[in-house]
Amino acid sequence: MKFAQINENNEVVRVIIISDKDCLDENGFYSEEIAIETCNRIHGFDEKITYKKIDNGNVGWKFDERYNAFIPPKPYPSWTFDSENLSWISPLGNRSGLTTTQLQNGYCGYFWDEDAYQLDNTQGWVLKNVNDA
């Protein structure tokens, strides 16, 4: 099972894996309390560190108790948090998908350019070619 080691700022500082058997109570049922005791035993108890079971999440993410979820870091200053989908969105919405012609011409996708957006708030998604440096 995967657990996030969370610091006092609710940031994930480490993702650890412990054996399923180390999370079971005396009746063979999963116990988060026992799993957390196992994490503390393996990594040493620290009152500034907590553990949460996770399915996804990476180092640098934050645990938000309001949503009971792990939130990735804000990717760009202009992006806002969508609390319904628990994700960050650009001020221009989602990027477009590539057309068949774009794919045939070597384009690999759209990438966010924060500088372009700051200069002109109608710009931001930039089409990149596989040959672009």
Count structural domains, the chain.
2
How does pLDDT run across 27-48, given as a tens digit for each residue? Answer: 999 998 999 999 999 888 888 8
pLDDT of 113 > 90? The answer is yes
How does pLDDT run across 69-102, given as a tens digit for each residue? Answer: 889 999 999 999 999 999 999 999 988 889 999 9
Q: Are residues 15 and 61 in the same domain?
A: yes
Question: Which residues lie below 8 Å from residue 29, measured CB to CB, with a gap of 6+?
Answer: none
Instruction: Tell me, rounded to whole angstroms, the distance of Cα 47 from its chain centroid.
Output: 24
- Looking at the domain assignment, is residue 79 inside a domain? no
pTM over 0.75? The answer is no
- Looking at the domain assignment, is residue 93 inside a domain? no
- Looking at the domain assignment, is residue 8 inside a domain? yes
Range of the domain at 30: 2-73
What amino acid is encoded at 131 in this protein?
N
* Distance in angstroms (rounded) separating the CA atoms of residues 112 and 92: 10
